Structure 1
Amino acid sequence: MNVEVWLSPSAVAPSERGHAELAVVIDVLRATTVAATALAAGARSITACLSVEEAFKMKAEATGDNPPLLCGERDCNPIDGFDYGNSPSEYSPAGVGDRDLIMTTTNGTRAINEASNCDGMLLASFTNLSAVAQRIVDSMSSDGLLRIVCAGTNGAVTGEDALLAGALLAVCHKKLSDTARFYDGPLNLVNDSAVIALAAWQHCISHDKVTDGETLATRLSLTQGGKNMVAAGYGSDLVDCGSIDVFDVVPTRQSTDPARFTV
């Protein structure tokens, strides 16, 4: 399996954006964590769009007696007129169960759009890390290209997304190989960003002593994205975003225009 990582969509030139068999989009803080949380809570679907105006338009054009709910954020904060913000704790079965959601966020939904040149797309977070890794292992061909796309923040690379990209590589390797030596295994890292992401996660385990959700949440608070959330008053979300393998749902793209995800 060939694997490349985009540490930020803006770091990859258009000429380097070839077709991928599978793309996995990451926005740990917080869009892809919310997506997994909402679908685990019973939401029927999540449709990603780029702008607030587009979200309102999609809701206005929806038919039926159960209109979609609007969710997302701009610059960490809820959007006026939306039903939900971007904190995972907002998404309960009572609130979103059996409902369709329309989501727009500062970085995550833009990354979904940037990564659209692929046969299939999954959304990954620490909350569904192992489930996503298993889906990758089950669905990728031996010579196909897996593209892991980190949303970053306003075009810049952020540590939390790079850490999850590295964690996905490590878990996939463990599922596919009987050797602890990564470079003897079945994953071919085709760009240096993949090597950097893997090294960041390995350092996180060995040096920062991240072993569980609590220690991971502490580590996330040290990234730029984590600092931004704390400054905006959403530091408590780091616990939810740092929870590891609490869901077995994998948000999976069902259509490309617009991007609609279900389990």
Structure 2
Amino acid sequence: MQIETWLSPYAVADHERSHARVCVVIDVLRATTVIATAIAAGARSVTTCSDIEQAFEMKRSASSDSLPLLCGERECRPIDGFDYGNSPGEYSPAGVGQRDIVMTTTNGTRAIDAASDCDVMMLACFANLSSVADAIIDEVSDVSVQDASSGSGAPPKASGLVRIVCAGTNGAITGEDTLLAGALIAVCHRKLSDTARFYDGPIELKNDSGAIALAAWQHCITHDKVSDSESLAQRLAMTDGGRNMIAAGYEQDLVDCGSIDVFDTVPQRDRLSPARFVSR
């Protein structure tokens, strides 16, 4: 498996971007956590957009019997006229079950747009970490089988590339997204390999950003003693994103966003523009 990691959606110039088989977008605090939570709570779909007015227009153009919920934030705060903000705790089955959602956020939905050139797009958070790793492996395994069946005997082609894209904050790299990128790489390795030595395993890191993310996650486990959701939430509080959450009064969100493997649902794109996500 080949994995390329972008620690920011803007880490690679537009003219240097190649097509990816699978792209996994990460915005731990909080867009991808919220979308995964909403779909796990029974939302039919989540459509993302970068602009607030576009979200309002999508609601105005919807039929009266299927009006979407408007959800999201700007600079951590709920948007006037929207139904929900960007806290995972807001998204209950009673509130979003069997509803379509339109979402716009400061960083996460923009990262989705920036990473659009791929066959399969998934959204990852700590809450669905293992399920996303399983989904990645399934997709890349499909490509490997197709290549083998062609009779060429060649290794998987570039179309099997997995790209991890971290949303960051306003173009800057953030610790929480980097940690999840590293955790995702580590879990994929654990599921694919019988050796603890990463560089003896089946994953090829295509750039140093992946190695940086993996090292950050390993340091988080060994040095910061992160071993469960509670200790992870404490670690997230030490990141730029976590400090922003606390300053804005959303410290409880760190507990929800630090919950590990509580969902088996993986939001997957089923429409390119505007991007729409449903349960895989």
Give the shorter-chain TM-score range: over 0.9
Matched, 1:259 2:275: yes
3-state SS, counterpart of residue 63 of structure 2: coil
Kindly provide the amino acid, as one letter, of the partner of residue 147 in structure 1.
R
Distance in 2, matches of 1:67 and 1:15, equals 38
Matched, 1:192 2:208: yes
Kindly provide the amino acid, as one letter, of the partner of residue 243 in structure 1.
S
Correspondence list, 1:244-255, <5 A = 244-255=260-271
Look up the match of 2:29.
Answer: 29
3-state SS, counterpart of residue 113 of structure 1: helix
3-state SS, counterpart of residue 47 of structure 1: strand
Look up the match of 1:229.
Answer: 245
Q: Which runs of 4+ in 1 moved over 2 A?
A: none
Distance in 2, matches of 1:195 and 1:15, equals 24
Structure 1: gaps of 5 or more residues:
none
Look up the match of 2:86.
Answer: 86
Distance in 2, matches of 1:9 and 1:260, equals 19
Look up the match of 1:126.
Answer: 126
Look up the match of 1:243.
Answer: 259
Distance in 2, matches of 1:118 and 1:11, equals 17
3-state SS, counterpart of residue 254 of structure 1: strand
Look up the match of 1:176.
Answer: 192
Matched, 1:72 2:72: yes
Range with bigger deviation, 132-141 or 85-94: 132-141
Q: 2:182 aligns with which of 166, 170, 182?
A: 166
Distance in 1, matches of 2:247 and 2:231, equals 20
Kindly provide the amino acid, as one letter, of the partner of residue 193 in structure 2.
S
Matched, 1:114 2:114: yes
Report how far residue 248 of structure 1 moved: 0.3
Look up the match of 2:62.
Answer: 62
Distance in 2, matches of 1:10 and 1:255, equals 23
Kindly provide the amino acid, as one letter, of the partner of residue 218 in structure 1.
Q
3-state SS, counterpart of residue 66 of structure 2: coil
3-state SS, counterpart of residue 70 of structure 1: strand
TM-score, normalised relative to structure 2: 0.93
Matched, 1:210 2:214: no
Look up the match of 1:157.
Answer: 173
Distance in 2, matches of 1:2 and 1:128, equals 21
3-state SS, counterpart of residue 102 of structure 1: strand
Q: Considering only aligned residues, what root-mean-square deviation do their CA atoms show, in Å?
A: 0.7
3-state SS, counterpart of residue 263 of structure 2: coil
Correspondence list, 1:140-151, <5 A = 140=140, 141-142=143-144, 143=156, 144-151=160-167
Distance in 2, matches of 1:115 and 1:187, equals 21
Range with bigger deviation, 100-109 or 2-11: 2-11
Report how far residue 13 of structure 1 moved: 1.2
Higher Rg: 2
Kindly provide the amino acid, as one letter, of the partner of residue 26 in structure 2.
I
Look up the match of 1:138.
Answer: 138
Distance in 2, matches of 1:197 and 1:96, equals 34
Percent identical residues: 71
Distance in 2, matches of 1:45 and 1:192, equals 35
Distance in 1, matches of 2:13 and 2:66, equals 41
Report how far residue 16 of structure 1 moved: 2.3
Kindly provide the amino acid, as one letter, of the partner of residue 108 in structure 2.
G
Report how far residue 66 of structure 1 moved: 2.8
3-state SS, counterpart of residue 65 of structure 1: helix
Number of aligned residue pairs? 263
Kindly provide the amino acid, as one letter, of the partner of residue 259 in structure 2.
S
Kindly provide the amino acid, as one letter, of the partner of residue 59 in structure 1.
K
Report how far residue 11 of structure 1 moved: 1.8
Look up the match of 2:38.
Answer: 38
Distance in 1, matches of 2:135 and 2:265, equals 10
Report how far residue 64 of structure 1 moved: 4.2
1:107-156 Cα distance to aligned partner (Å, 9 max, x none)? 00000000000001000000000000000011113431000000000000
Kindly provide the amino acid, as one letter, of the partner of residue 173 in structure 1.
H
Report how far residue 15 of structure 1 moved: 2.4
Kindly provide the amino acid, as one letter, of the partner of residue 238 in structure 1.
L
